[in-house]
């Protein structure tokens, strides 16, 4: 489940869908500190994340500094929900803006990314990006 790319209805807008990566599942404690994702206090390696040239990690924290000052250092993903982030973090509308995604709003899972087709060597066995291709 972690790392899967899902298609889901946008909370409060059932007519629109988004495609994002699952970074947190029920019970996970999620935090972004200076651009680095932490799950259960452990840094997550995210080689797929893209940053703009003007990216400033010092300004990329979630929960925000205001929330941390108030004692909220992370969010716990509720049962049956997912915390999703876009790979292009600076331009992504994701769980940092609309909250967690209820499992009932998930309409599909991406099993093959044509955008990354240039990275596939058809002369050798196909390898999926870490953490792997899983079916739900």
pLDDT digits (tens, 9 = 90+) for 39-69: 998 999 998 887 776 666 666 666 555 555 5
Residues 43 and 39: their CA atoms lie apart, in Å, by 7
Q: What is the largest CA-CA distance in the chain?
A: 55
- pTM as predicted: 0.74
Cα–Cα distance for residue pair 47/86, rounded to 1 Å: 13
Residue 7 CA neighbour count, 13 Å, CB half: 10
pLDDT, tens digit (0-9, with 9 covering 90-100), for 73-109 = 688 999 999 999 998 887 888 898 888 999 999 998 9
Q: Assess if CATH 3.40.50.1260 describes domain 5-119.
A: no
How do the domains of the chain map onto residue ranges? 5-119
Q: In terms of Cα–Cα distance, which of 16, 31, 11, 27 is closest to 94?
A: 11
């Amino acid at each position: 489940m972690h790392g899967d790319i899902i298609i889901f209805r946008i909370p409060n807008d059932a007519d629109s869908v988004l495609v994002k990566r699952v970074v947190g599942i029920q019970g996970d404690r999620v935090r972004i500190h200076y651009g680095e994702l932490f799950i259960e206090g452990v840094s997550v390696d995210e080689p797929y994340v893209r940053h703009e040239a003007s990216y400033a990690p010092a300004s990329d924290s979630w929960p925000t500094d205001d929330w941390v000052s108030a004692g909220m250092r992370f969010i716990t993903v509720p049962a049956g929900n997912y915390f999703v982030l876009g790979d292009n973090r600076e331009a992504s509308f994701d769980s940092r803006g609309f909250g967690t995604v209820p499992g009932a709003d998930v309409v599909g899972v991406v099993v093959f990314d044509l955008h990354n087709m240039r990275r596939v060597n058809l002369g050798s066995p196909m390898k999926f990006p870490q953490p792997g291709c899983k079916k739900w």
